[in-house]
């Protein structure tokens, strides 16, 4: 791999208050403050700040408190062990890939014997860290000087400094030819929040796609809501959920991937479903004894028809991703329910039925209904020892309530 010394831009950290504050955090005094703040209660922040300011400079105390807050937020993505050793910026923690997803992606590259990756738009290093942990040397590039410094600090803090070379530069100026693969995670947030137009990403999706097509292998992280028409035929598209929530989508390019295929991967199990091409529309029919809610990654990858076939079922409505069948079916890709009642939508009827059955705990699921679950629960005035699940949906176009309970 082409090893170039880590570069910092011409301006030094002393010209930039945010970088100066970050540098102060990495001194022994800063490290000690951060260690002290590890388990602090955010509710006591004012009292903690007042106490610490008696013995430490005020700017250092506020930088440490800010970093402690970011670390607490980062635990959900990185786990406590890593999060309390790492550093973050507010944007960095927001945009970083969670460990589970980054590790899955890194494992796919490692499985194809990829030996070096240019991580273009590395942020605070979420993906670079996972790639390095999979044994792959990484060039990690970000044009924001503070973010690049934070990525470098993270590589060092996690003992990965030998495998991650951080460069502060514009990715459009990087020669990726020496690398086995490129990974691009464009910034999808700007000053005004989330950016929906892929050409407004930084760098634009068209640039990222061109960079991906030039490399022997590549991965592009994209928003899970990307329209399928925007995905070129050269890419394998993968939607990834973790714990049932869709986290992101990734486009894979190059040898070892399946151009044109759509794939859904469920973490933490890693169960993966895929189809080489768009599937024909599944059958639609009456609600049977069982109802299945596919994982969001399966829905996004348009693979519901595959599950319909596997369970010998049908959809309850051609526009709704609820599958129904007459036989029980078990699969990691669906949550199954036994349906006891099917009624036209009516708050009044639902309330009467729940009262009669003494339902005190109601889980509300909906697809194709504008009703707010919280509002519905409030209006039901639930009481009693029983529990139930209600699906607010459309059946053959008609607003319908399906009542039941989870299988197993």
Ligand X SMILES: C[S@@+](CC[C@H](N)C(=O)[O-])C[C@H]1O[C@@H](n2cnc3c(N)ncnc32)[C@H](O)[C@@H]1O
- Please give the residue ranges that form the binding site for ligand X (CB under 6 A): 95-97, 121-127, 141-144, 147, 170-172, 185, 187, 202-203
Question: How far apart are CB 93 and ligand X at their closest, in Å?
Answer: 9
Are 56 and 27 contacting, i.e. CB atoms less than 8 angstroms apart? no
Q: Which residue has the tokens 């509002």?
A: 375
Question: How far apart are CB 205 and ligand X at their closest, in Å?
Answer: 12
Other CB atoms within 10 A of residue 85 CB: 16
Instruction: State which residue, 147 or 324, has the beta carbon closest to ligand X.
Output: 147
Query: Cβ-closest residue to ligand X?
Result: 126
**What's the DSSP call for residue 364?**
E
The CA radius of gyration of the chain, in Å to the nearest whole number, is 25
**What's the DSSP call for residue 38?**
T
Instruction: State which residue, 82 or 144, has the beta carbon closest to ligand X.
Output: 144
Question: How far apart are CB 97 and ligand X at their closest, in Å?
Answer: 4
Question: How far apart are CB 23 and ligand X at their closest, in Å?
Answer: 19
Instruction: State which residue, 167 or 365, has the beta carbon closest to ligand X.
Output: 167
Are 198 and 172 contacting, i.e. CB atoms less than 8 angstroms apart? no
Question: How far apart are CB 358 and ligand X at their closest, in Å?
Answer: 48
Instruction: Give the H or E element holding residue 339.
Output: strand 334-344
Instruction: State which residue, 125 or 404, has the beta carbon closest to ligand X.
Output: 125
Secondary-structure breakdown of the chain: helix, strand, coil percentages, each rounded to the nearest 5: 35, 25, 35
Instruction: Give the H or E element holding residue 344.
Output: strand 334-344
Instruction: State which residue, 203 or 294, has the beta carbon closest to ligand X.
Output: 203
* Measured distance CA(185)–CA(4) in Å, rounded: 22
Angle CA 86–92–98, to nearest 5: 70
Instruction: State which residue, 85 or 289, has the beta carbon closest to ligand X.
Output: 85
Question: How far apart are CB 388 and ligand X at their closest, in Å?
Answer: 40
Instruction: State which residue, 224 or 386, has the beta carbon closest to ligand X.
Output: 224
Question: How far apart are CB 269 and ligand X at their closest, in Å?
Answer: 22
Other CB atoms within 10 A of residue 400 CB: 21
């Amino acid at each position: 791999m082409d090893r170039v010394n880590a570069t910092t831009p011409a301006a030094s950290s002393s010209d930039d208050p945010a970088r100066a504050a970050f540098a102060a955090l990495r001194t022994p005094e800063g490290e000690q403050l951060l260690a002290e703040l590890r388990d602090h209660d955010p509710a006591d922040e004012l009292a903690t700040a007042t106490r610490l300011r008696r013995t430490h400079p005020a700017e250092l105390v506020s930088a440490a408190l800010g970093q402690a807050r970011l670390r607490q937020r980062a635990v959900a993505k990185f786990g406590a062990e890593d999060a309390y050793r790492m550093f973050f910026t507010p944007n960095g923690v927001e945009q970083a890939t969670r460990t589970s997803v980054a590790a899955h992606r890194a494992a796919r590259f490692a499985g194809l014997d990829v030996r070096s990756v240019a991580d273009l738009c590395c942020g605070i290093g979420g993906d670079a860290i996972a790639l390095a942990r999979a044994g792959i040397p990484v060039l990690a590039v970000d044009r924001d000087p503070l973010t690049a410094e934070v990525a470098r600090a993270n590589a060092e803090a996690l003992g990965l400094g030998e495998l991650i070379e951080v460069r502060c530069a514009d990715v459009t100026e990087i020669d990726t030819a020496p690398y086995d693969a490129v990974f691009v995670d464009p910034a999808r947030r700007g000053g005004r929040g989330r950016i929906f137009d892929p050409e407004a990403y930084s760098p634009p999706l068209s640039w990222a796609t061109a960079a991906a097509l030039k490399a022997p292998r590549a991965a592009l992280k994209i928003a899970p809501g990307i329209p399928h028409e925007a995905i070129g035929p050269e890419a394998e598209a993968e939607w990834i959920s973790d714990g049932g929530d869709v986290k992101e989508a990734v486009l894979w390019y190059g040898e070892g991937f399946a151009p044109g295929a759509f794939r859904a991967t469920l973490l933490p199990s890693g169960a993966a479903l895929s189809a080489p091409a768009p599937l024909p529309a599944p059958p639609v029919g009456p609600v049977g004894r069982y109802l299945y809610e596919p994982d969001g990654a399966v829905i996004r990858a348009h693979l519901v028809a595959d599950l319909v076939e596997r369970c010998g079922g049908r959809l309850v409505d051609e526009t709704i991703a609820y599958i129904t069948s007459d036989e029980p079916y078990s699969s990691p890709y669906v949550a199954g329910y036994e349906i006891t009642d099917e009624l036209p939508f009516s708050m009044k009827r639902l309330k009467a039925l729940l009262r009669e059955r003494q339902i005190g705990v109601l889980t509300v699921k909906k697809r194709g209904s504008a009703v707010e679950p919280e509002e519905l629960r409030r209006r039901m005035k639930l009481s009693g020892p029983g529990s139930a699940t209600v699906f607010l949906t459309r059946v053959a176009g008609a607003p319908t309530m399906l009542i039941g309970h989870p299988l197993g």
